[in-house]
Amino acid sequence: MIDTPCILTDHLRNPGLLSLDGYQKAGGFAALSKAVKSLGRAGVLDQIRISGLRGRGGSVFPSSQRWSAVARAPCDEKFILMNGEEGGPGGFKDRMLLDGTPFLILEGVILSGFAVGAGYGFCLIRRDFGEAISSFKLAAKALREAGLLGQDILGSGYSFDISVVTGAGMFSAGEETALLESLEGRRGNPRPTPATRFEHGFRGKPTLLASAETFANIPFIVKNGGEWFSQIGLSTNPGTRLFSVSGHIAKPGVYEAPLGTPISRLLEMAGGAREGEEIVAVLPGGVVSGFIPKEKFSVGLDQEALLKEGSNLGLGAVIVFSNRCCFVNVAQCLAAFLEQESCGHCTPCREGTKKLHEILSDIGSLRRKSGESRRGQCREVQAPRPFELLEPLLESIAAASACGFGRSAGLAVSSAMRLFPEEFAAHFQRQECPKRVCWG
């Protein structure tokens, strides 16, 4: 393993990355030149395969399988789709790239288009990322004027152009097939995923879809070689990854670390606990991942390792929780978010997240009813047991929802119930909040 480089954050330290001249001074477009002049399409695909790169969005799917599937598809019209629809609590690492280095992402998009034989690409950026949308439009114009986008790129005979489009701005609309629906002018509801999802994308044509961070790694892989990249991080999941760290942490922000870095190390990088607090749990993949308790902070930030702990790497949004948190209150907030962000397309997710929010919000009214009955010497209110109500509901949402959002929606609440049963029991059975967050 080579000494840990910070691939993307080191690049972001270069000055002037918002101008083509500044980006080229930082080594920009050396990879594209190498690709069209010497490597060729097969060479680029080969370097991506050797690198072992996996997607930096939620799926962690091996990138070479996507790139190769689209490259092999027997169709004259192919597309690239860059997913810049980042959102949800704690997710802000793609925004740093979109705002800070549009030319790097665009170089990755053009290189990928060249490798798979696509003639057109879309950079879909969340509608409230106004600065990034403007930067991408200006960057595309500068690239066309410089002969790096449009007809006959760098005299290679390869032609490729892009459009910058605005996304729906909903968390569930960031799901891959929902993005395709938005792009085709329909409501951003996820599609039932076909087995050949890469070959049937935009307008039913082969479409290579990846996140901003995934595309940002491509120029480095082509320039430095897949072998170089494969030696960083884990052999099963190489490279570094950006993590947006937020919540009860001394220095919230975006940090880059090799895949497999222990959670404890990332928390150290972010300054550790705030004064007078102790970190007791994290959500390593944002609101659609499961809680990892402090006893498991030696677990590496890697999809396989986190799946074994009932969580996932998700979008790299690491949300930190201290001993001051009431996890029933956290579960209520998560349920409110899930209900609001469910696109409503399928019943288990739409009605299940609504019911989940209702049950968790009900605790407040249970407390009031119980207090009233004691004062009036009425019969004791029978408080429901949390596991009886919530577990079957969470299981049915996970089992019957149509897309990844619904299937992972209950992970955080179910893991909170498993890890902090005494807090749930206190609220549901005795109408008490041990942390005095819900009631004083």
Contacts to ligand SF4 by CB under 6 A: 172, 189-190, 342-346, 349-350, 401-403, 405-406
What is the nearest approach in angstroms of ligand SF4 to the Cβ of residue 343? 3
β-strands 207-211, 79-84 pairing: parallel
Candidates 132, 119, 12; CA nearest to 75 is 119
For 128, the token pair is: 């409230």
Closest CA to 171 of 378, 56, 355, 338: 338
Asked if residues 82 and 212 have their Cβ atoms less than 8 Å apart, the reply is yes
Min dist. Cβ of residue 344 to ligand SF4 (A): 6
Nearest to 48 by CA among 78, 68, 72, 28: 68
CB of 257 to ligand SF4, least distance (A): 30
Token pair 């659609």 in the structure block, residue:
288
The greatest distance separating any two alpha carbons of the chain, rounded to the nearest whole angstrom, comes to: 88
Q: Which is nearer to ligand SF4, 340 or 429 (CB)?
A: 340
Q: Which residue has the tokens 């500044």?
A: 22
361 C-beta neighbours (distance < 10 Å), count = 13
Smallest distance from ligand SF4 to CB 106, Å = 30
Residue 88 to residues 18, 118, 152: CA-CA distances in angstroms?
Answer: 26, 31, 40
**What's the min distance (Å) between Cβ of 268 and ligand SF4?**
35
Instruction: Give yes or no for a contact between 296 and 264, defined as CB atoms under 8 angstroms apart.
Output: no
Tokens of 420: 């902090």
Q: Smallest distance from the beta carbon of 175 to ligand SF4, in angstroms? A: 7
Nearer to ligand SF4, 89 or 293 (CB): 89
The first and second tokens of residue 17, run together, are: 């990355």
Q: Which is nearer to ligand SF4, 7 or 124 (CB)?
A: 124
Contact 264, 298 (CB under 8 A): yes
Nearer to ligand SF4, 350 or 369 (CB): 350
How far, in Å, CA of 226 to CA of 419, rounded? 41
Task: Kindly tell me which of 47 and 342 has the beta carbon lying closer to ligand SF4.
Answer: 342
Closer residue to ligand SF4, CB minimum distance, 172 or 214:
172
β-partners of residue 46 are none
Of 103 and 405, which has the nearer Cβ to ligand SF4?
405
Q: Please report how close the Cβ of residue 407 comes to ligand SF4 at its closest, in angstroms.
A: 7
- Phi/psi for 160 (5° steps) reads -160, 140
Which residues, listed in sequence order, are joined to residue 160 by a DSSP beta bridge? 150
Instruction: Select 332 or 401, whichever has its Cβ closest to ligand SF4.
Output: 401
Minimum distance of ligand SF4 from residue 396's CB (angstroms): 12
Alpha carbon 277 to its chain centroid, in Å, reads 28
Collapse the DSSP code of 30 into the 3-class scheme (helix H, G, I; strand E, B; otherwise coil) and give the result: helix
Closest residue to ligand SF4, based on beta-carbon distance:
406
Spatial CA neighbour of 311 closest among 190, 235, 419, 399 = 419
Query: Shortest distance, CB of residue 173 to ligand SF4, whole angstroms?
Result: 9
Q: Which is closer to ligand SF4, CB of 201 or CB of 206?
A: 201
Could you tell me the smallest distance in angstroms from the CB atom of residue 184 to ligand SF4?
A: 16
Residue closer to ligand SF4 by CB (options 252, 406) is 406
Q: Are 364 and 402 contacting, i.e. CB atoms less than 8 angstroms apart?
A: no
